[in-house]
């Protein structure tokens, strides 16, 4: 199972990234554990200085922007 973390305080962009990620997981019909991380100390510990951020299997794949659905899909497939 893939571990995906969406990093951010809960702003609109963070929610949008969470929705995109959930759609990708659903469309690929894979098992993934999607966790929302809102604790700033934890976000900084992961090396992310601007949100929203996306971490797949402990690898930061995006920060400071909302990636496209295609980008997220590519990252998830790569992690499989």
Contact 8, 17 (CB under 8 A): yes
Task: Tell me phi and psi for residue 51, to 5 degrees.
Answer: -105, 160
Which candidate in 4, 14, 56, 61 is catalytic? Answer: 14
- Sign of the Cα torsion 2, 15, 54, 9 reads negative
80 is catalytic: no
72 is catalytic: no
Which candidate in 3, 9, 11, 12 is catalytic? Answer: 11
Catalytic residues: 11, 14
């Amino acid at each position: 199972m893939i571990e995906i973390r969406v990093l951010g305080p809960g702003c609109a962009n963070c929610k949008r990234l969470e929705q995109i990620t959930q759609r990708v997981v659903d469309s690929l019909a894979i098992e993934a554990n999607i966790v929302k991380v809102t604790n700033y100390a934890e976000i900084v510990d992961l090396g992310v200085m601007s949100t929203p951020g996306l971490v797949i299997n402990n690898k930061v794949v995006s920060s400071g922007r909302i990636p496209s659905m295609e980008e997220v899909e590519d990252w998830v497939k790569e992690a499989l």
